[in-house]
Chain A
Amino acid sequence: MRVIVSFIVGGLFGLGLLLSGMTDTTKVQGWLDIFGAWDPTLAFVMGGAIIPMAIAWQLTRGRTPVLGTAFPAPPEPRLGRNLILGSVLFGAGWGLAGLCPGPAIASASFGGPTGLVFVVAMVVGMMGAPTVRTRLDRTMAAV
């Protein structure tokens, strides 16, 4: 049952990304292009998504998931080097191509060969991330 719910959730996620225009890299790069032809669409998508999710977080209080045992733990308060460095690297890649992980998968069927190159490179980066994390920790410990 949880697997079926996951499929439906993924389907809705993809539908929302497509309808909102977030699988169009020009709209994403347009949002980041504050000194060019700025496109505010992404802010509306974010706002539209945050509202139902904020209500959902309120509904988790004093309850348990319908098909689960516990809700996610409260957010970790510490920021840390990996959060900042990782977000900067992610933002740079996001700006270069106009794709982030969700839309990359959602557009894979119609994104052509370069869309698949992005997905493969992203997966390689994800596979390498634990090694990068360990190396960083070791380097920082040595300094």
Chain B
Amino acid sequence: MQSDWIWGLFGGGIIGTAAAIFLLVNGRIMGASGIIGGLVDGSGRSDWAERAALLAGLFIVPAIVAIAMGGSETHLTDNWVVVAIAGLLVGVGTRLANGCTSGHGVCGISRLSLRGIVATVFYIGAGGLTIVIFKHLLGVI
């Protein structure tokens, strides 16, 4: 749709504002995988309440807004095996790399971090290659 990029820019601005507040007020980097990972592997025990509160907001606010908008769709595949493998890869990969789209992408690139830029090049490259292989060549997704 034509207006998609406007919503993208607007929504992106809200995401960046959230990350800016988290940095300037709490002094922390808004990286989703680091915040979740620190809770589930025990490495973020000292500030668990802040992590849990951020995740609660991340879950509750879109839930309410989606209801207000009359529902929302993820269009996620029904193939449980693909979804489970994808989830495992995202979980292991983001923790090995120490960041995902928000941490390396938004927060890393915006401070011109070489690690953030290189990580982003590799995850977008691997994602593009995955689409070529599993969608166009094998037709699995």
Please indicate whether A and B come from the same complex rather than being unrelated chains.
Answer: yes
Are B118 and A17 closer than 8 Å at their CB atoms?
A: no
Main secondary structure of the interface of A (DSSP, over half): helix
Query: What chain B residues lie within 8 Å of A65 (beta carbons)?
Result: 23-27
Are A14 and B57 closer than 8 Å at their CB atoms?
A: yes
Are A107 and B62 closer than 8 Å at their CB atoms?
A: yes
Closest to B47 in A: A2
Are B27 and A75 closer than 8 Å at their CB atoms?
A: no
Are B20 and A92 closer than 8 Å at their CB atoms?
A: no
Are A109 and B93 closer than 8 Å at their CB atoms?
A: no
Query: What chain A residues lie within 8 Å of B101 (beta carbons)?
Result: 94, 100-102
Interface size class of B (residues with CB under 8 A): 35 or more
Q: How many of A's residues come within 8 Å of B, CB to CB?
A: 116
- The B-contacting residues of A in range 78-125, CB under 8 angstroms, are 78-79, 82-102, 104-112, 114-115, 117-125
Query: What chain A residues lie within 8 Å of B135 (beta carbons)?
Result: 29, 33, 36
Are A93 and B87 closer than 8 Å at their CB atoms?
A: yes
Query: What chain A residues lie within 8 Å of B119 (beta carbons)?
Result: 83, 86-87
Residue among A36, A56, A130 with max Cβ neighbours from chain B (10 Å) = A56
Are B127 and A20 closer than 8 Å at their CB atoms?
A: no
- The A-contacting residues of B in range 41-57, CB under 8 angstroms, are 41, 43, 49-51, 53-57
CB of A67, distance to nearest CB on chain B (Å): 5
CB of A18, distance to nearest CB on chain B (Å): 4
CB of B92, distance to nearest CB on chain A (Å): 4
Residue A141 CB within 8 A of the other chain: no
CB of A28, distance to nearest CB on chain B (Å): 8
Are B61 and A90 closer than 8 Å at their CB atoms?
A: no
B contacts, CB < 8 Å to A? 4-30, 32-33, 36-37, 40-41, 43, 49-51, 53-63, 65-66, 71-80, 82-98, 100-102, 104-111, 113-116, 118-120, 122-132, 134-136, 141
Q: List 21 A-B contacts (CB under 8 A).
A: A7-B57, A11-B61, A12-B14, A12-B17, A14-B61, A16-B16, A18-B62, A21-B7, A45-B11, A53-B110, A83-B98, A85-B93, A86-B92, A88-B125, A92-B93, A93-B87, A95-B126, A96-B134, A110-B63, A123-B91, A126-B36
A contacts, CB < 8 Å to B? 2-27, 29, 32-36, 39-57, 59-60, 64-72, 75-79, 82-102, 104-112, 114-115, 117-130, 132-133, 136
Kindly list the 10 A-B residue pairs having the minimum CB-CB distance in the complex, ordered from nearest.
A125-B91, A20-B11, A48-B12, A121-B87, A10-B57, A91-B126, A86-B97, A86-B96, A93-B89, A90-B93
